[in-house]
A = this chain, B = another copy of it.
Amino acid sequence: MTGQRSPGSRPRRARAGEVADRIHSAAIHLLRGLRRQDDKWGLSAPRLSALSVVVFAGPITLGELARVEQVRPPTMTRLVQALEWERLVARSRDAGDKRVTWIKATARGRRLLLKGRKERVRALTSRLAPLERAEIDTLDKAARLLEVVARGL
C-alpha cells in the first residue's frame, strides 16, 4: 500500500481512497513493529488489548468482550483462557443466567496492566515523544476518529 503522491497535487476525487490506503499501510507496519515489543514484554497485542478492556470496562461477559474486541466468541474464549492461565483474569458463572460467564481482572492483572502501562507502549511512546505538540494532537485526533471508523467496519 504505497499510493504516494505529493500532498499538494491531488485530485479531489481519490482523496478518501488514498487516505484509506495510507492508513491501512501505516496500521500494518505499526503493529508489526510493536508486536516484537509486546512479545518481549510478555503479552501479545490481542491479549493486552483484551486485558485492557477487562480492566477498564469492569467485569464483562465473554460475548460482550468479543464484540468490543471485534473477534468471534471462540477466539475470545481462547484469549481469555490464556489470560486466566496466567492469573490475570478470573471467570465466574452468572447467578441468574447460568449460560453467561463474567470475566473480571484479578489484582495481578490490574497491577500488570496499570504498572506496565508506559512500559507496554514504551517503544511507541518514545518514538512519539520527540514529535511536535501539534503532531501529537493530530495523532490523537486521528486515533479517536479511527476508533469510531473501525467500529463500523
Interface residues of A (CB under 8 A from B): 1-4, 7, 15-34, 36-37, 45-46, 48-49, 52-53, 56-57, 69-71, 117-118, 120-121, 123-125, 127-129, 131, 135-136, 138-147, 149-153
Contact = CB atoms under 8 A, between A and B. Distances in A.
A124 B24 contact: yes
Task: Determine which residue in A1, A7, A45 has the highest number of CB atoms from chain B within 10 A of its CB, and name it.
Answer: A1
Contacts of A28: 31, 45-46, 49
A70 B33 contact: yes
A121 B26 contact: no
Contacts of A145: 131, 135, 138-139
A65 to B, nearest CB: 12
**Copies of this chain in its oligomeric complex:** 2
Q: Across chains A and B, which 7 residue pairs bring their CB atoms closest together, nearest first?
A: A33-B153, A142-B142, A29-B150, A26-B146, A22-B143, A20-B124, A20-B121
Contacts of A36: 153
30 contacts: A1-B48, A1-B121, A2-B56, A3-B56, A16-B131, A17-B117, A17-B121, A17-B125, A22-B140, A23-B139, A23-B142, A24-B30, A24-B121, A26-B143, A27-B27, A29-B69, A30-B146, A30-B150, A30-B153, A32-B69, A32-B150, A33-B70, A33-B150, A37-B153, A123-B153, A124-B153, A128-B149, A131-B145, A138-B138, A139-B146
Given A2-B56, A149-B127, A143 B19 contact: yes
